[in-house]
A and B are shown apart, each in its own frame.
Chain A
Amino acid sequence: MNTTDLLGLSPLIIPALAGILVMLAGAFRARPAVLHALTIGGIGLALLSIPLGRSLAPRDLTPLLRLDAYALLFLSLLYATLGILAILARPYLQARRRQGEAFPALLLFAGTGMGVMACSNHFASFFLGLETLTVALYVLLGYLRDDRRSLEAAVKYLILAALASGFLLFGIALVYAATGTLVLDAAARAAAALLQEGPAAEASWAVAGMLMLMVGFGFKLALVPFHMWSPDVYQGAPAPVTALIATGSKGAVVAVLLRVLAPDIAGAGRLAPLLAGLAIVTMFAGNLLALLQTDVKRLLAYSSIAHIGYVFVALAAGGAGGGRAVVFYMLIYLATTLGAFGIVSVLSAEGDADADDLGAYRGLGRRRPALAATMTVMLLSLAGVPPTGGFLAKFAVLDVAIGAGRWTLALAMVIASGIGLYYYLRVLVVMYMGDEEGIPTMPSPAAAPLGSSLALGVLVVAVLAIGLYPEPWLRAAGAAVSAVLGG
């Protein structure tokens, strides 16, 4: 450990320090505006420190953390997500008179946890990062402590996240038993080699370990059949926290998942049948269950289940191209999902209850043209329609699936996303095509708060820019993945 290492660690240290600073400021009864400024400043500084890390990469910072192009890309994505969430959360909390120091501090700690996960190259640091994130989420989920549904979401998440942690730990232990190392890339390489052609006993340890890990990841990513918790938690949680679970939390988990699976994906692909099975079940269940929802948060919950299914199509297709498609997909998924939940957040900030019923969106196209247009862009991107980024993401996944000759997977994805079209269209129908008389006469302020508008504007531009000119993003995703997968 020397000064250079410390410099490299600054993207992780800054949010943690900012979190402590926010707590201290809260103890001295700082005004909410000051707390907010500290939060945004902390995240902004962390983002600014990432180019610093770029000059050092690739570099091992302690045996636990690895700073490479892959980690840096995920750090930028996750911190950008976090910053936008902090901006969107403020009016929401203001409306509920809950502007303590706890929320921003916890958000920053969750950010630290995600950052550690993105950089982790060791099962210990991965688990530490995950638990930092998860513990922060427990509190954030139950943050509206007078709201029964918020508490219910927190308890549900607590139980299932603990279960997932149990599976993960057991899996880590088994992989360690089989391979004799906890360093992520080495363990993953050894496990992949064992899966391919190892002595029977150790291979079965490795198989059991990888399966346990997949169950743990499955819970965190809400893969079917480990998805049961997600619609309830999404629905009950405060809207900005729902956004955090759907975006940042999943993004960080995928970052680790790809590191764990990388040797197998790039090599023999022994896990491909498992991944393909999970992908197909998840895509279909997510999309079919979303058809029935009348609650926007639940609908988006099922939609994001389906989208993780598409990511698994790329994982199952494998190769360097598959890895690149995974990262590219996540990039667009984060921007789009954040945008969709951002609209829910902004609308929720205007009333006492969260705007989760579809009815709250009736006639939005007439009442709030800018918000409705933003939501339209996000929904089209989720549905994968040009000229949005979602289309390119879907193209990238289909491309690797078909390029690898996995026609069954590709056709399953085509059919599943065809089903998915229907519920995205339904939201558009409610926003634009309702009858005149059904429009609720809720008090609508003239415009969304400036910060939220700017944040959503950035997301719209990002989603359209990626859709129209994806080359730089594809290149970034490719460079990041080659740090992990080689080639």
Chain B
Amino acid sequence: MGGYIGRRVIGSIPVLLGITALVFMILHIIPGDPAQIMLFGSNATPDQIQALRRELGLERPLLVQYADFLWRLLHADLGMSFSSQRRVADEIAIQFPATAALAAVTMIVATVIGLIAGALGAVYRNTWVDAAARIFSILGVAMPSFWLSVLLILIFAVHLRWLPALAEGGIRGLILPAVSLGWGFSAILTRLCRTNMIEVLAQPYITTARAKGLRQTSVVVRHALRNALIPAVTLMGLQIGTLLSGAVVVESIFGRQGIGALAVRAILSKDFPMVQGVVLVVALTYVVVNLATDLAYAALDPRIHYA
């Protein structure tokens, strides 16, 4: 197991390097010179632009600049924001917890709903319960999160006045954003869980459990659901990326803090170092979570052995 972990960690290094290279290149692929872009609108003289070029080290070969970029990255230095003139790393550090909280609550809500709906669909297969679970899942896939957000605000904030439409502290303000972000995810999970449960429920050990006289709930929860859970773990890992990029939409709509909303502001105001920083953080999170998922998968399923 230890060797497996080591190999997986080393194996992800090329991908991590590739991600940083791509993010580094953003600033160099944009039409125009980075120094000129930075001084845009400030009536800088060609001399000033030249001075800034030298200061930023833009004269050096690209590879040296990339090495420098990596070196600064290792020191959590992502450069300065064009618009706020503060350190990009600091701003991201301020905004990240809000997004992490949203992602965590979304994940929990979506997993619980997805597992329950999937299990119910499998146990009451081909009844109205199954049909309802299927409609729930199809709608979840077809509803773009921005429309779902607006709809939920319209129903629960504007008409019923149960929940706040805009971000406020505490868990109440998290409910609508988490549901907007999580429905699609729980829909996929519902399908997956239903299929797995149907398969597991047909296994001999379930028949054995029933023959022992165990109650239905006990058979379903203790014997079937636990085995159907394993594939769900993989799915959760894959979805964390979609979740983080979905935060771009949901945070903007609900006026929440977070790196998603930060990304939208940065792109619209052409704050390139900020875009680089946010994109890098999301991609790195995605890779790390996926790696952790793979390892968790190996730990959860005793049949999987890695030499």
Does A pair with B?
Answer: no
B residues sitting closer than 8 Å to A (CB atoms) are: none
